[in-house]
């Protein structure tokens, strides 16, 4: 079965884009822009939520740290994505951590301002609930992939997913090898060997820290378990 890349997208950017222009302006007016340097934590697992976050520029990862100290990255947010509202709505501590992958400009909406926005924009709560439901489906798909697909197929799939996230940079994937290994659930050494294979098969180009997808169709076939 052909893999559908859309099933691995939180679509968190659709929350704000679904609002009218005046509602978007109201939303933004309720926040304060903060700068998070690369590797800076936006929030951390077990922390108490004080607001939610809209990425105005940059990318950030969400992850959980296992008992062995190894991180498992579940998702990478990009410009336009809204995050951190799940724990706020559920009045629970954060279940994961969020860290800036690069220097990020992020709009922070405090808890009180967020509650005010929900009152002023009645259908905002419906959009948030709909997106939470969609994100649950994405996480189910992600867990299934990590548990059932071989490493080669997982790498092919996530190269396609990341290629889409870096589309404004020509699709050039600029992600530390450790982070890529933590996304697909493998050791950095195993990732290095497989990247070399993909490069030799001319599926990708590797230029220092940059990975460039050369053969989208072939990677999609591999991700879909089609090898012929």
Position 214 pLDDT exceeds 90: yes
What are the structural domains, with CATH classification, of the chain?
A: 5-144 (2.60.120.10), 150-223 (1.10.10.10)
Least confident of 26-35, 166-175, 202-211: 166-175
Mean of all residue pLDDT scores within the chain: 93
Higher-scoring residue by pLDDT: 1, 165: 165
Q: What is the pLDDT of residue 73?
A: 95
pLDDT score, position 171: 75
Q: How many CB atoms lie within 10 A of CB 119?
A: 9
Task: Specify the pLDDT at position 50.
Answer: 94
28 CB-contact burial (10 Å; exposed 0-12 / middle 13-18 / buried 19+) = middle
**Short-list 56, 73, 70, CA closest to 107:** 56
Residue 2 has a pLDDT of: 76
Which long-range contacts (C-beta less than 8 Å, at least 24 apart) are formed by 186-189? Answer: 186/151, 186/154
Which tokens sit at 145?
Answer: 């992939």
Query: 170-185, pLDDT tens digit by residue?
Result: 779 999 999 999 999 9
pLDDT number for residue 68: 79
**pLDDT above 60 (res 228):** no
pLDDT the model gives residue 169 = 72
- 1: confidence class by pLDDT, cuts 50, 70, 90: low
Average confidence (pLDDT) over 13-38: 96
Mean per-residue pLDDT, 6-23: 94
**96/87 Cα distance (integer angstroms):** 10
- Residue 222 sits at the vertex; the CA angle it makes with 219 and 223, to the nearest 5 degrees, is 85
Spatial separation of the C-alpha atoms in residues 101 and 175, rounded to whole Å: 8
What average pLDDT does the segment 140-146 reach?
A: 91
The pLDDT score that the predictor gives to residue 226 is 65
């Amino acid at each position: 079965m052909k893999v559908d890349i859309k099933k691995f997208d939180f679509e968190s950017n659709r929350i704000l884009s679904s609002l009218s222009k005046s509602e978007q302006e109201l939303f933004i007016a309720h926040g304060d822009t903060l700068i998070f340097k690369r590797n800076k934590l936006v929030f951390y697992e077990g922390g108490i939520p004080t607001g939610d976050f809209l990425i105005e520029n940059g990318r950030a990862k969400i992850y959980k740290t296992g008992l062995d100290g190894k991180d498992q990255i579940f998702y990478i947010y990009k410009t336009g994505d809204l995050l951190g509202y799940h724990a706020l709505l559920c009045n629970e501590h954060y279940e994961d951590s969020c860290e800036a992958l690069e220097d990020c400009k992020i709009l922070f909406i405090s808890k009180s301002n967020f509650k005010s926005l929900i009152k002023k924009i009645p259908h905002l709560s419906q959009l948030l609930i709909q997106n939470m439901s969609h994100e649950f489906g994405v996480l189910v798909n992600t867990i299934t992939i990590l548990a059932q697909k071989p490493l080669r197929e997982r790498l092919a799939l996530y190269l396609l997913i990341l290629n889409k996230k870096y589309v404004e940079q020509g699709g050039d994937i600029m992600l530390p090898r450790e982070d890529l290994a933590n996304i697909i659930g493998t050791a950095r050494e195993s990732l290095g060997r497989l990247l070399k294979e993909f490069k030799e098969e001319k599926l990708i180009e590797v230029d220092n820290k940059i990975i460039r997808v050369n053969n989208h169709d072939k990677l999609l076939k591999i991700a879909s378990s089609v090898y012929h």
